Amino acid sequence: MLSEERIEYYRNLGLKITPQRLAILEYLEKHFTAHPTAEDIYRYVKERFPSMSFATVYNTLEALKERGLVKELYIEEGKKRFDLNVQPHHHFYCTSCGRLIDLHEGVKVEISERFKNKLNILEIRVFFLGICDRCQG
């Protein structure tokens, strides 16, 4: 359950707070590192609100994205995941189990001078693909 302080935080950002939106926000905060899809969130919230539509989840995620509170990740073809951690970081995707792991340190990316002078780079996102420790053994 979100604290009154967290609810007020979202209200101050201009989000209309409804019971359905609260459930979506609670799911995101509880599953902070899971990088859920809209479908994951919908399945969870629909248990509490059977008449809720998928559009409600999608529209809430769009509103959060517009306010800079979530980022969309495009790792698997045809599937968007959402990351509540909007601070710069990279990801490792396990091609065996589908787990997505945040990488906050130890990744250095260098851009050659040739590109630095020609491109206005706004953000760097690195996705590593491989087999995670759980799947290896």
Model pLDDT for residues 12-27, shown as the tens digit of each residue: 999 999 999 999 999 9
Query: Is residue 58 located within the same domain as residue 94?
Result: no
Among the listed residues 72, 68, 111, 118, the one whose alpha carbon sits nearest the alpha carbon of residue 91: 72
Query: Is residue 107 located within the same domain as residue 41?
Result: no
- How large is the average pLDDT for residues 64-86? 91
Query: Is residue 68 located within the same domain as residue 118?
Result: no
Domain limits at 129? 90-136
- How large is the average pLDDT for residues 24-49? 93
Q: And the tokens for 109?
A: 């990316």
CATH code of the domain covering residue 61 = 1.10.10.10
pLDDT tens-digit profile of 77-134?
Answer: 888 999 999 988 999 999 999 999 999 887 888 888 888 889 988 888 889 999 999 9
CATH code of the domain covering residue 123 = 3.30.1490
Q: Into how many domains does the chain fold?
A: 2
Q: Report yes or no: 130 and 92 within 8 Å, Cβ to Cβ.
A: yes
User: Considering Cα of 45, then 7, then 62, then 121, what sign does the dihedral take?
Assistant: negative
Query: Is residue 42 located within the same domain as residue 100?
Result: no
Q: Report yes or no: 134 and 117 within 8 Å, Cβ to Cβ.
A: no
**Which pLDDT value is given to residue 73?**
93
Query: Is residue 77 located within the same domain as residue 122?
Result: no
**Which pLDDT value is given to residue 124?**
84
d(CA 90, CA 19): 33
Tell me how many degrees the CA angle 93-119-108 measures, rounded to the nearest 5: 40
* Residue 67 pLDDT exceeds 80: yes
Query: Is residue 38 located within the same domain as residue 98?
Result: no
Q: What is the dihedral angle through the alpha carbons of 92, 95, 96, 100, rounded to the nearest 10 degrees?
A: 30
Helix (H) or strand (E) holding 62: helix 54-66
The 3-state DSSP class for residue 60 equals helix
**Which pLDDT value is given to residue 12?**
94
